[in-house]
Chains A and B, each alone.
Chain A
Amino acid sequence: QQQVRQSSQSLTVWEGETAILNCSYENSAFDYFPWYQQFPGEGPALLIAIRSVSDKKEDGRFTIFFNKREKNLSLHIKDSQPGDSATYFCAASANTNAYKVIFGKGTHLHVLP
């Protein structure tokens, strides 16, 4: 059973559009949800994260919308740039086991110029 699900394996948008990456989870104990950005040949870099007490977290062009009742969240990338083309992993962990991060399978974002 996959505990963190990303609805799309791949997403393509045009430069300047808003890319929306969706994620859902199973375990109600999860209370911390980081998104990682990974470029080919590199490790995943922490992009933005939200705790379950919040329903929105914004950092520049990146915004997480979180719905605790529905157990889903989404990452919005405003004004997408070709340099945003990467694989984005939605992840989750519980405060009691903060190191044990459960990753989704990733969404590969292509931003076309």
Chain B
Amino acid sequence: GALVYQYPRRTICKSGTSMRMECQAVGFQATSVAWYRQSPQKTFELIALSTVNSAIKYEQNFTQEKFPISHPNLSFSSMTVLNAYLEDRGLYLCGALDREAGQLYFGEGSKLTVL
């Protein structure tokens, strides 16, 4: 079956430092990966959509300078949160799109705590 692995599961970092998270799709080809953030209040925000061999599309309020993404092949993607501050806290989710099945599968999430 389709599985998405994300790591690290949680990170605690000091204000102003950076955190990199990785996402791996198993059992299907993740042509597109959508990165979301779930706030401590449980609401979801789409950060960006990354498609192999295409430009990454960032949503309003999110930029490449702050959330650089790499998506080098059909099974792996990574995103970094640069200069993390309190407002960047949350659960960062990688959603890998299985186009054949038309389903979006999420990883377990990388929880970011900023001190």
Name the residue in A36, A41, A51 with the highest tally of chain B Cβ atoms < 10 Å from its Cβ: A41
- Known contacts A99-B49, A100-B34; is A46 also within 8 Å of B104 by CB? yes
In this complex, the interface size class of chain B, counting residues with CB under 8 Å from chain A, is 20 to 34
Once the chains bind, are B97 and A99 in contact (CB under 8 Å)?
A: yes
Once the chains bind, are A43 and B93 in contact (CB under 8 Å)?
A: yes
Q: Tell me which of A45, A51, A98 contacts B99 (CB under 8 A).
A: A98
A83 to chain B, nearest CB (A): 18
Complex interface residues of chain A between 44 and 89 (CB less than 8 A to chain B): 44-46, 49, 51, 87, 89
Interface membership of B6, Cβ < 8 A: yes
- Which residues of B pack against A, CB within 8 Å? 6, 32, 34, 38, 42-44, 46, 49, 91, 93, 95, 97, 99, 102-109, 111
